[in-house]
Amino acid sequence: MVVTQLTDIFKIITLILLLAAAGFSSAAESENQLTTAITTLLNNNINLPPSVRPILAVKLLTPPAQLASLCANPVLSLSGNLSRLTGMHSIIAQCAARRHFIQIDVDATATWWQATRLLRPGEQVTEEAIHPQRGSLEHMPGGLIFDPQQIIGRVTLRTIQPGENIVESQLRQRWAIVTGEKVEIRFHGEGFTIRATAKALDNAALKQRLRVQTATGQLLTATAIADGQAAVVAN
C-alpha cells in the first residue's frame, strides 16, 4: 500500500514537473519570437544598407508576467526614435484596442570610421584618409557614420585629428555650385531644353535647390545637376 502511494505521488510530481517544463519552454519560445520581431523592427528603422548595418543584441527588460498578457501576434512599433541606437528603448505592442509598452535594452556592434591623418577645415575627404574601427557602440558618440560612401568626397567643417572618430556634424557635402559664380542653367519643358547663363545666389551640393539670377535680373529656383550646372523645370 505504501509503495503504491509513493508511486502515485512520484507520478504526480513527475507530471507537475513536465507541465512546468513545457510551460517554461513555451514562454521562452514566445520571448525568443518577440525578441526576433523587435530586432527586425529596429533593423527596418535603420536607414543603412545591410552590408554596413550594426548587428543588434536586444534584451527584454519587461517582466515575463507582463509579457504573458500580450496577444499572440502584436503589432509592434517604436516609441520615440533611434537617434541613439544603444541603450534603453520602448516598443509599443498593439493588441486590438490595447497598447502595451515593452522595455528593451539594445547593444550594437558595428564598423565606424576614423581619420588616418590630420584633416583640415575645408578639405575633401579621400578614401586613404579614413580607416575602419569595429566594436560595441555602447560608449560611442552619436552621429557616427557607418557607410564610408557617406564620408568619401565630403568636405570637413573643422579640424579632425588622427584617430578621431568621424561623425556627421564634422562634414558637409561638396558644393557643386558656389555663391556668386556663373552657372549654366537649363530650362526643361515638354519637348524642349533651353540653355542660358545665370549667377548663383546660394551654395548648393548636387540635387540641392538654389536661387539663381538671370542676365535680365529674373530670380529663379533651380536644382544643381552637376558642377556649375543647374536645371529649371518649366511649369
Query: In terms of domains, do 99 and 121 share one?
Result: no
- The residue ranking higher by pLDDT, 20 or 132, is 132
Q: Give the residue from 64, 84, 107 where a domain finishes.
A: 107
Q: What is the CATH number of the domain that holds 132?
A: 3.90.1210.10
Provide the number of structural domains found in the chain. 3
pLDDT band at 234; cut points 50, 70, 90: low
Q: Residue 220: pLDDT above 70?
A: yes
Mean pLDDT of the region 66-86: 86
Per-residue confidence (pLDDT) for residue 1, from 0 to 100: 54
Q: What is the DSSP string of 138-158?
A: TTSPTTB---GGGTTT-EESS
- The residue ranking higher by pLDDT, 17 or 147, is 147
Q: Residue 57: pLDDT above 80?
A: yes
Expressed as residue numbers, the domain containing 126 is 113-172
pLDDT band at 8; cut points 50, 70, 90: low
Query: In terms of domains, do 11 and 53 share one?
Result: yes
Residue 177 lies in a domain: no
Residue type (1 letter), 167: V
Per-residue confidence (pLDDT) for residue 25, from 0 to 100: 47
Query: In terms of domains, do 72 and 134 share one?
Result: no
Query: In terms of domains, do 41 and 121 share one?
Result: no
